[in-house]
Amino acid sequence: MNGDTARTRQAWSVLIVSTWAFTVCFMVWMMFGVIGIPIRQMLNLNATQFGLLTATPVLTGSLVRVPLGIWTDRYGGRTVMTLLMAATVPAIWLMAYATQFWHFLAIGLFVGLAGGSFSVGTPYVARWFPKHRQGMAMGVYGAGNSGSAVNKFVAPVILVAFGWQMVPQVYAAIMAGTVLLFWLFSHSDPAHLVPSQAGFAQQLKALKDRRVLKYCQYYSIVFGGYVALALWMVQYYIGEYGLDIRLAALLAACFSLPGGVLRAVGGVLSDRYGAHKVTWWVLWVSWVCLFLLSYPKTQFTVSAVDGPRTFTIGLNVYAFTALMAVLGVAFAFGKASVFKYIADDYPTNIGAISGIVGLAGGLGGFVLPILFGLLLDLTGIRSSAFMLLYGVVWVSLIWMYWTEVRRTDVLRGAGSAEPSPAH
């Protein structure tokens, strides 16, 4: 019993300190969502260039997820996470001294390593808990996505008081402290290591599995869309509603905060009701929200009996923020339910599979902000970003219907057609 108690304490210690570490990593990863605005003004960037600026760290954080997940299986999450966080500290500090566009892109690639922490912590914390609680554990850890909201609370205050250059310096100090804290309060268990001599290419053969591809598609919207909007929303509020950066960041946090914190609730719901049901409803709620958010402000004139009348259709800042909050909740639940699929289907290969799916989600977070900027430059319509996401959700819904919902209905119908036993 004493051994079980000690094991439980270690598991919760690992979960808590890992969640804190992931929160800090995500805060750093999303840094350009706030400091990118004064940098854009300083460098006179267009919307596409701004999208590239904000997305650059996301690219590296995505590409390293597969090898980091595999290394976590082989060498343990404690070692890999500590080395990963320590490697980002110099790059974060150097960001304060960048002066040209290519400087920010180059340094941003190294800062982006922090985003790979997700593929380390997910299998690391999952293996400390029994299968029926892995959804909860991964959901709690994934709540570190709320680092995006923390960035929106902290960075504007530092920026207004001391200038944008102080933000990366403060973040570098926080990351260095987190490295020490993580090493002191995390634990290792040799039984969690996966003894495999397979190379990267062999492990990447999982991409031939249609289920993995489907989970990649789901995650590209619930995580990739979350990351993209978290980076895009501050400047959206400023441009669309004329808010200052502090109020814009505060309202943008109404999407980022539930989109991170409530991931733990999504994990619990996935444990209880199953990954399929949670993901299905997440996609439908997202579809409705994005449909409403896609409609641009419109003025039209009609011929009435007493002459022409002009009407205006559009979301005010309150309705817009409310819809974004609901979308954030849906994305939070969806991020947890996708990884519940992985824990259920690939219990012995969580690290590699979560790395692949995380890579797909991260690449979505990289590509989408660039496409947001490109669409804005081409059309001049800010809500075109939501139109794009609406189309991606449609793809996911159709795919899920044909591979899961329809198949379940057919099997249920076949079962009901079977003759009943004789009485």
pLDDT tens-place string over residues 29-73:
999 999 999 999 999 999 999 999 999 999 998 888 878 877 888
Mean of all residue pLDDT scores within the chain: 86
Of 387, 52, 368, which is closest to residue 225 (Cα–Cα)? 368
State how far the alpha carbon of 408 is from the alpha carbons of 340, 345, 413, 416, in Å: 19, 17, 8, 12
Measure the CA–CA gap between 365 and 213, rounded to whole angstroms: 17
pLDDT at 196: 54
Q: Is residue 55 part of a domain?
A: yes
Of 366, 128, 339, 116, which is closest to residue 228 (Cα–Cα)? 366
Q: Is residue 205 part of a domain?
A: no
Q: Is residue 61 part of a domain?
A: yes
DSSP assignment of 318-332: HHHHHHHHHHHHHHH
DSSP assignment of 223-240: THHHHHHHHHHHHHHHHH
Asked if the model's pLDDT at residue 134 lies above 90, the reply is no
Asked if the model's pLDDT at residue 187 lies above 90, the reply is no
Measure the CA–CA gap between 188 and 196, rounded to whole angstroms: 18
Q: Is residue 163 part of a domain?
A: yes
Asked if the model's pLDDT at residue 396 lies above 60, the reply is yes
pLDDT at 257: 86
pLDDT digits (tens, 9 = 90+) for 238-280: 999 999 999 999 999 999 888 777 877 887 888 888 888 898 8
- What domain range includes position 140? 2-186+211-411
pLDDT digits (tens, 9 = 90+) for 300-329: 888 888 888 888 888 899 999 999 999 999
Q: Could you tell me what percent of the chain has a pLDDT over 90? A: 49
pLDDT at 410: 41
The dihedral through the CA atoms of 108, 165, 382, 263 has a sign that is: positive
Task: Give the total number of structural domains in the chain.
Answer: 1
State how far the alpha carbon of 400 is from the alpha carbons of 29, 33, 56, 267, 317, in Å: 30, 32, 30, 20, 33
Q: Is residue 419 part of a domain?
A: no
Q: Is residue 275 part of a domain?
A: yes
401 vs 390, more confident:
390
Q: Is residue 195 part of a domain?
A: no
Q: Is residue 258 part of a domain?
A: yes
- Domain of 220, CATH number, reads 1.20.1250.20
Average pLDDT of 176-181? 96
pLDDT at 420: 39
pLDDT at 421: 39
- Contact status, residue 27 vs residue 171, Cβ threshold 8 Å: yes
360 vs 331, more confident:
331
- Contact status, residue 10 vs residue 135, Cβ threshold 8 Å: no
Rounded to two decimals, what is the model's pTM? 0.82
State how far the alpha carbon of 356 is from the alpha carbons of 52, 68, 184, 204, in Å: 23, 10, 29, 8
Cβ within 8 Å of residue 319, ≥6 positions away: none
pLDDT at 418: 37
